[in-house]
Structure 1
Amino acid sequence: MEPVEAAKQILASQFPNCDAALLGGSIARGEGTKTSDLDIIVFDRTLSSAYRESFIANGWPVEVFVHNFTSYKDFFASDCKRGRPSLPQLVVEGIVLKDMKGIIPVIKKEAQQLLEKGPEPWTKEMIQQKRYFITDVLDDFIGATKREDELFIANHLAGLVHEFVLRINNCWTGQSKWFMKTLRKYDEQFAVEFAAVFEEFYKTGAKEQVIAFVNGILDMYGGRLFEGFCIGKVEK
């Protein structure tokens, strides 16, 4: 069954009294693959709280994100705080399946404004913490002698650097398939370099390019941080 028709039938059978609904995700973006599911955002003002549920229907794996008229705002706010706009992105790109009260344009506008504004800025203290943690993991990477350790330290390091560069430049972060998408949106050339230095390590085991790349990023924002770093200490 075609995705929009399948989604509409799911609404009719499982959420017949909902006020509004959208079909988001890779299907809505025209980027669906053979493993894509239907991401359906449901708005129902009678619900006491939000929930998420997964099931199979009409030949599709389905994920529903069900909200009342206030819970989605809480999720918008938490997404902004963590710097990863999952729900606002779903809403903005979503295909309208149902809109009994004409609320979808209002919610889409809210989501679009949040995406354009960007995540909550990091404080100076947060930037110092992130510099310290990257420094710590980079030292672990340099010192590691077992290939099995190097692989997973490199993966952790890539995630930290990805978050650091994007958040410090007021950009949204992303995981999994959104990792490179968010980097490219920030800076296409930087994204290419980022992927290339880690690919070189994964292919050959040579660490030099990754080390130089990470050091270069840290140097732009105060350099490595170890000496003098302190968190949680209460002065007497």
Structure 2
Amino acid sequence: MIDDPAGQARRLAGARFPDALSVILAGSASAGRATATSDLDLVVLVEEGGETYRETIRFEGRLVELFVHTRTGLAELFAADVESRRGTLQSMYADGVVLVDRDGAARAARAFAVADLLAGPRALAPDVVETKRYGLTDALDDLGDARDRFERLAVAEVVLGGAADLLSDHRGAWLGAGKWRPRRLLAADPKLGGALLDGHARLCAEDDPAPLAAAATEVLALVGGPLREGYRRTWHGSPGAVSAARR
């Protein structure tokens, strides 16, 4: 464990961001899960006229991920995180440890973040759900047809991701990537999310695709069932696509 992650983060904030409006220690260090090799995640709010950026540095021998925002930049990034259905930055502001709070700036940003998280992500449009149903159905067919273990492992990742996406949308829950996928999936639906994760683990350990396929099929049943014949999408193009392709 890091002996004093908050102290280390405060020293960095004081040295690099002495005029910050707010500084919040987020990630594993704020939750008490940091190890000797964990980095520090620091979200920093600065005055307008500053920059909004992400940067990785090393401080006192430890990697630090800096997420620096103006109020305008923060509002734009919060909107982007809502659009992506991840709410990543909102979680950092909502759950982190406040180190600096000048004139209530951290409290205001946290309230903004919590409001977004409580509202939840916008539901996917029906045609998007249909396309995702089609993709998961196709991946499940590939999983059943695969005769090579490495192909099954690759397809299993597609099945897990597709099922997690549809289940999270169905439950009105936020998505997660990487280590956040199981956390968010279990929060969305402990029983069925757990079945998906257990099924994926069984396939990886025992090369048995049946539990994962069964759980993903249950997800499909919640959102309209498998979709194969009858699916159709028309490509309408996008501005500049043809000219860009010809360059």
Same fold (TM over 0.5): yes
Number of the residue aligned with 1:206: 208
Number of the residue aligned with 1:215: 217
3-state DSSP of counterpart to 1:102: helix
Give, in angstroms, the shift of residue 131 of structure 1: 0.3
- Scaled by the length of structure 1, the TM-score of the pair is 0.93
CA RMSD of aligned residues (A): 1.6
CA distance in 1, matches of 2:30, 2:190: 24
Pick one of 138, 146, 171 that aligns with 1:136.
138
Unaligned runs of 5+ in 2: 237-247
CA distance in 1, matches of 2:188, 2:93: 21
CA distance in 2, matches of 1:52, 1:233: 35
- Give identity over the alignment, percent: 28
The 8 Å contact of residues 196 and 216 in structure 2, kept in 1 or not, is answered as no
The within-5 A match list for 1:32-181 is: 32-181=34-183
CA distance in 2, matches of 1:190, 1:54: 37
3-state DSSP of counterpart to 1:17: coil
Number of the residue aligned with 2:242: none
The 8 Å contact of residues 24 and 100 in structure 2, kept in 1 or not, is answered as yes
Matched, 1:232 2:218: no
3-state DSSP of counterpart to 2:178: coil
Give, in angstroms, the shift of residue 48 of structure 1: 4.6
Give, in angstroms, the shift of residue 4 of structure 1: 1.2
Taking a change above 3 Å as real, the CA distance of residues 222 and 60 of structure 1, as seen in their structure-2 partners, is same
Residues 91-146 of structure 1 show CA distances to partners (whole Å, capped at 9, x for unaligned) of: 01121111222211111111011111111111111110110111111112111111
Q: Aligned partner of 1:131: which letter?
A: R
Give, in angstroms, the shift of residue 22 of structure 1: 0.9
CA distance in 2, matches of 1:102, 1:56: 29
Moved over 3 A (4+): 46-49
